[in-house]
Amino acid sequence: MIEVEHLTKYYGEIRGIEDVSFSVGKGEIVGFLGPNGSGKTTTMRILTCFFPPTRGKARVAGYEVTQNPVEVRKRIGYMPETVPLYPDMKVATYLGFVAESKRVEKSKRKSAIGEAMEQCGIVDVAHRLVGNLSKGYRQRVGVAQALIGNPEVLILDEPTIGLDPQQVVEIRNLIKSLAGKRTIILSTHILPEASVTCEKVIIIHQGRIVAVDTPQRLMERLEKSSRTVLQIEGAAQEIAERLRMIPGVIKVVEQGGVSPGVCSFEVEYEKEREISSELLSVVSRSKWKLIEMRAEKMSLEDIFIKVVTEEQET
């Protein structure tokens, strides 16, 4: 559905992105991850025909963005980081304006607006002024305007920025509800965003793509060791020393006291070894009280830091 090949954009002598290549399949939700200034918005603006690349190609639904921008725009719904909302318009009126701007047939506008409001959960605020809505509802209106015209592709730039935790969950659920129906690229610098919403992640750093894969496969590829967290009642120094003596253990990190007399430890060990039984055996022989034992997986933050670090070292 989306194919990007060697896309490069310079602003004078300043590099926005360089040699960016990736593809997104039909119906996928893909997270475009990177810190502010990494090139996410530049890539999205090229895909949505806001400006041309310096070199390279990008196709949406088979249409090249520089050769067929009108056809590309017909197939894309775009929600920029700052949504161009009009505070003095009522929600339904604003969406009507968007439908007219997108040249939705007059006979189909009412149903298109109603469907977008229904999908985004804003039917109850249809006759309220946009400027009087909460930030969460304004973001929903932003998604709704992107849905007008029934586009095949949605490009959402930082859709949860500035929202409170409850509003973030609501917008995430809204995006996930669109899975399979539309191809979605979701840009974010908030790493947990992608892990709970997206099937695949594209990590961009300093204008270059450094990884493209599912979060699970990235974890498997980058985890060179395994980790287990233990909470044990006993003398912290003695516990740490004995845990370090277990074959295959790389390091033991004391994470501090959980409660009086109970300490938490992170045990890192060789990936190919399974030491759970040995850990339990040491605890039993030492007559310690085991409060908790659980496997610790890499987070998306760990993945991002590791990918970026490896890129900088090459």
State the pLDDT at residue 196.
79
Could you tell me the two tokens for 295? 């496997």
For residue 212, how many other CB atoms are within 10 A of its CB?
Answer: 16
Q: 204: which strand partners? A: 209
In the listed set 188, 220, 252, which residue is the last one of a domain according to the structure? Answer: 220
State the pLDDT at residue 307.
75
Same domain, 92 and 148: yes
Same domain, 169 and 276: no
| DSSP-assigned states of every residue in 219-284 | HHHH--EEEEEEEEES-HHHHHHHHHTSTTEEEEEEEEEEETTEEEEEEEEETT---HHHHHHHHH
Is 28 in a helix, a strand, or coil?
A: coil
Dihedral (Cα; 47, 38, 83, 31), 10-degree rounding: 70
Same domain, 146 and 178: yes
Could you tell me the two tokens for 143? 């998604």
Is residue 307, in this structure, part of any structural domain at all?
A: no
Domain that holds residue 153: 2-220
The CATH number linked to 290 is 3.30.70.100
Same domain, 256 and 185: no
State the pLDDT at residue 247.
92
Kindly report whether the global pTM for this prediction surpasses the value 0.85.
Answer: no
In the listed set 202, 220, 238, which residue is the last one of a domain according to the structure? Answer: 220
Using alpha carbons, select from 180, 139, 176 the residue that is nearest to residue 159. Answer: 139
Q: Which residues contact 310 (CB under 8 A, 6 or more apart)?
A: none
Same domain, 59 and 200: yes
Same domain, 107 and 213: yes
Same domain, 216 and 237: no
Same domain, 59 and 164: yes
State the pLDDT at residue 148.
94
Give residue for tokens 């409001």. Answer: 117
Dihedral (Cα; 123, 124, 125, 126), 10-degree rounding: 40
Q: Within 13 A of 39's CA, how many CA atoms are on the CB side?
A: 24
Same domain, 197 and 101: yes
Residues of the chain with pLDDT under 50: none
Contact 198, 29 (CB under 8 A): yes
Using alpha carbons, select from 130, 138, 147 the residue that is nearest to residue 89. Answer: 130
| Phi and psi angles of residue 198, each rounded to the nearest 5 degrees, phi first | -110, 150
Q: Tally DSSP H helices, then E strands, for the chain.
A: 11, 14
